[in-house]
Amino acid sequence: MENSYDLNGIRALMIRAAHGLGMSIEEELAQTEAALEVTGSTKSKIEYALAHYKNMGIEVS
């Protein structure tokens, strides 16, 4: 699906997006050029999400 909006320069913060639905939303937001930040309920979930996004070529902080 083609992106119909541009969030370049916008920072997106998804609370507890280190897995599940939140992770899926972050993946979609990455396609809009939004700057993403990851939060999660545990350190291991955050580390997993960061590795997952890095493997997909998605830059997060």
Residue 28: give the domain boundaries.
Answer: 1-41
pLDDT above 60: residue 3: no
Over the stretch 5-58, which tens digit does the pLDDT of each residue have? 777 778 877 777 788 888 888 888 888 878 888 888 889 988 998 898 899 888
Give a yes or no: residue 14 inside a domain. Answer: yes
Q: What is the pLDDT of residue 55?
A: 93
In the chain, the number of structural domains is: 1
pLDDT above 80: residue 2: no
pTM (predicted TM-score) = 0.71
Long-range contacts of residues 24-28, Cβ cutoff 8 Å, at least 24 apart: 26/53, 26/58, 26/60, 27/53, 27/56, 27/58
Give a yes or no: residue 17 inside a domain. Answer: yes
Give a yes or no: residue 49 inside a domain. Answer: no
Amino acid at 33: E
Give a yes or no: residue 25 inside a domain. Answer: yes
